Amino acid sequence: MATKSALRSALGDMPFAAELDWMLRRKNHARNDHFSLERLRKSLPDAVKTAETFADAAKPGKKILFFSTLHYWIEQSAYISLVLAGLGHKVTLMTLPYSEWHKRMDNFTQRQRILHTRDTLKPMESLVKHVSLLDLKPVAAIPDALLGDIEQISLWDAQYTLMREEVDMNNPSDRAVYDLRLERNTFAARAALEWMQANEPDVVLVPNGLILEMGIVFRVARSLNIPTMTFEFNDQREQIWLAQNSSIMRQETDYLVEARCKLPMTDAMYERLADLENARRGARVWGKSKRLWQYVSSQGAEATKKMLGLDNRPVVMLAANVLGDSLTLGRNIFAESMTEWITRTVQYFATRSDVQLVIRVHPGETIVPKAKSMAQVVREALPSLPEHIHVIAATDKVNTYDLIEVADLGLAYTTTVGLETAMNDRPVISCGQTHYRGRGFTLDPSSWDEYFATLKKVLSDLPAHRLNEAQVEAAWNYAYRFFFEYARPFPWRLMNFWDDLAVWPLAKVLGAEGQAEFGETFKFLVGEPFTWKN
């Protein structure tokens, strides 16, 4: 295997070897590796013809750079590019045809992936220009600020890849992951900087905008003060998360609060939000989603207390996130990591037998099995667990919403469980840079001293720290805006793209029905200010 890999790397360094093999043997055959655009190759010619009919009648728009990597992002990005071109924009789709962001691929295979991507996207050339990041000539030097960005994002990449916060630079395997990401991110920064300086796009559009080369391209664009849009997807069909000039993974909602949270809630809005919360509590899917937020329905507070062996002492619920989730990266305030926060918190409560601590491990750990479990973090902090500290594993048949009802105090890092705890009038200490922190219904320490002082103060008089009516109303108002107004209408998700395309084909999206439904969102995608329909 090593000999074969070395041979392919050597062939990849030979001029035209990959190109000749591609033309003579590979071009018209289905690919059998992880990077395949075969479905896109078959569907694109007809899609281009459709988009051309709309582009011919469209007014000239903006000059857009759209960056995409990994085959599934490239599939979706090709169709989004066609919509933007059909609306009159001049789009350049810049691709990075990687499949394994954490593994070094031999040069021959990588070169053929470039050729595969180029041939697949060739039918778009009448509407969308395609460039490969790997074919660009990087600038010789980059600003110091970008060097710091590269190091930061490379560390996040390593955490995301390893699914743990501890990256040991003295461990050869950890170091290899970090060094590879540092190498690739450095090249991406230099190549993207060269292209943007030479071509001066009006807008840069990039998925995620936090990790991998997606995060790098975002940082380069912002360093040049180019308006930059980032996007991701939640669990609902026909929805997209958008951010302007920030990474969507940061979930910065100040603009939403300023524009929407001052507006009153109607009875219909309360009912809609209650319906969502009841579905989650009842372990039912809701809306246009197939996701179950809980794997067991509510059993009630008393049954849950009996099952866990809880007595009449006050209950503190700590709701954990999944380690390595990009929604948690870079969210530290006073703790160096979520691991450190949980470690020091459980050690503090080990000395407080007057209260009971319940640690809810995120059910999402079952979906990401390689992530370091927060249960392991607790065991490492307290090898011998005191009787008043309880760990609820990801697979345990316990409903989180029953724990909210049982709790007298909630502790949260970035999980929305903290928001939902506040909706139930329980005091919540917000310990990570989450989107609902500082909105008037959480306690927000900024240092370890403040954190432990806040814990001591709240635990000394829990009834006095129950949220008042105005705070509960603020929590409900914010939750409604976040769950129902933060996301925007959009035809195609990422991981179910081909299913969604069957429901919303390109002609339908560009036509009257699609523009009535999604037209505003496509304006936001190219940097137009956010607005809300009545």
pLDDT of residue 148: 96
pLDDT of residue 328: 83
Domains of the chain plus CATH, in order, are: 2-139+201-255+489-525 (no CATH), 263-485 (3.40.50.2000)
Are residues 233 and 249 in contact, defined by beta-carbon separation less than 8 angstroms? Answer: no
pLDDT of residue 295: 82
Are residues 327 and 252 in contact, defined by beta-carbon separation less than 8 angstroms? Answer: no
Q: Read out DSSP for 60-120?
A: P--EEEEEEESHHHHHHHHHHHHHHHHTT-EEEEEEE--S-TTSPPPHHHHHHHHHHHHHH
In whole angstroms, what is the distance from residue 93 CA to residue 107 CA? 23
Q: What is the pLDDT of residues 14-44, one digit of tens each?
A: 555 556 665 655 656 565 677 889 999 999 9
**pLDDT by residue, tens only, the chain of 534 residues:** 455 555 555 555 555 555 666 565 565 656 567 788 999 999 999 999 999 999 999 999 999 999 999 999 999 999 999 999 999 999 999 999 988 888 888 788 888 889 899 999 999 999 999 999 999 999 988 999 999 999 999 999 999 999 888 899 999 999 999 999 999 999 999 999 999 999 999 999 999 999 999 999 999 999 999 999 999 999 899 999 999 999 999 999 999 999 999 999 999 999 999 999 999 999 898 888 888 788 889 899 999 999 999 999 999 999 998 876 777 888 999 999 999 999 999 999 999 999 999 999 988 777 666 777 888 899 999 999 999 999 998 888 999 999 999 999 999 999 999 999 999 999 999 999 999 999 999 999 999 999 999 999 999 999 999 999 999 999 999 999 999 999 999 999 998 999 999 999 999 999 999 999 999 999 999 999 999 875
pLDDT of residue 360: 93
The dihedral built from the CA positions of residue 38, 291, 331 and 345, taken in this order, carries a sign that is negative
In whole angstroms, what is the distance from residue 357 CA to residue 355 CA? 7
